[in-house]
């Protein structure tokens, strides 16, 4: 089992460009979570998705940010018109059971976004 | 508001020594508490998980304790090794009937083990 895969590992964008972050969950996991970690801060929940459904996006900024988890392929976190404040590490996690089960989430290595 | 506070923020110890990291939380209704280890540039990796009824849980040289009454947890590392240098994150899960368990992350303790 290759674990949770994220790509790219590092992404550099200029202000106003779009950033697309990809996450492939562990094999057999259909629950995906996105977190953001600002420098020197803890992880902050953004969104929880199951296949083709957004279950909880209460941590997602209302504008410019969107997430999807299609039936086929990886989960995508999309940030439009990036600003310097979007610079952070974005972590994806997956679990085999719904969040209500309280199961362990397995984290990917993260994508470090730098906005110039 | 659910919060998780960790102390100290950073810690330097010599190889072979023991150390204890603290976690205080105000998360309700409590579901479980996890300690994660996050190496620099990597994602967090789960070390232990404890539910309300568990007081202690060990994983090799890592021993976590939980006092659900005082809402405190500790992570004790025995005979530290250089590879223990990492951030240790306390994560508390709140049971939310509407949207499933919500995780609240502490800010982490950055541990550096020196030879």
Tell me the per-residue pLDDT of A35-54, one tens digit each, with 9 for 90 and over. 999 887 788 889 999 988 99
Q: In this model, does residue B3 exceed pLDDT 70?
A: yes
Chain B residues within an 8 Å CB radius of A44? 105
Chain B residues within an 8 Å CB radius of A93? 43
Give percent of chain B with pLDDT exceeding 90.
70
**Exposure class string for B74-90: b at 16+ Cβ within 10 A, else e:** bbebeebeeebbbbbbb
Evaluated on CA atoms B26, B31, B33, B34, the torsion sign reads: negative
The rounded radius of gyration (Å) of the Cα atoms in chain B is: 14
Question: Half-sphere exposure of A45 toward its Cβ, with a 13 Å CA cutoff?
Answer: 24
B43–A105 CB contact, under 8 Å: no
A104–B34 CB contact, under 8 Å: yes
| Residues A93, A107: Cα–Cα separation, whole Å | 4
User: What confidence tens digit (pLDDT) does each residue in A52-110 have?
Assistant: 899 888 889 989 999 999 988 999 999 999 999 999 999 999 988 776 555 678 899 99
**Distance between B27 CA and the closest CA of chain A, angstroms:** 15
């Amino acid at each position: 089992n290759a674990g949770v895969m994220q790509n790219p590992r590092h992404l550099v964008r200029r202000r106003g460009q779009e950033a697309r972050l990809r996450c492939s969950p562990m094999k057999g996991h259909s629950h995906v979570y996105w977190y953001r970690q600002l420098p020197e801060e803890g992880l902050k929940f953004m969104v929880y998705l199951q296949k083709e459904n957004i279950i909880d996006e209460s941590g997602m900024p209302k504008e410019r940010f969107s997430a999807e988890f299609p039936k086929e392929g990886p989960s995508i976190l999309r940030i439009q018109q990036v600003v310097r404040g979007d610079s952070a590490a974005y972590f994806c996690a997956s679990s085999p059971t719904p969040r209500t089960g309280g199961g362990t989430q397995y984290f990917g290595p993260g994508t470090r976004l730098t906005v110039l | 508001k659910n919060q998780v506070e960790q102390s100290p923020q950073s810690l330097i110890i010599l190889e072979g020594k023991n150390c204890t990291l603290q976690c205080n939380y105000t998360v309700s209704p409590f579901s479980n508490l996890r300690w994660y280890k996050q190496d620099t540039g990597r994602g967090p990796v789960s070390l232990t998980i404890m539910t309300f009824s568990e007081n202690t849980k060990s994983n090799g040289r890592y021993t976590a304790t939980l006092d659900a009454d005082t809402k405190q947890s500790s992570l004790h590392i025995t005979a530290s090794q250089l590879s223990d240098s990492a951030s240790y994150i306390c994560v508390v899960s709140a049971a939310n009937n509407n949207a499933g368990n919500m995780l609240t992350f502490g800010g982490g303790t950055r541990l550096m083990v020196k030879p």
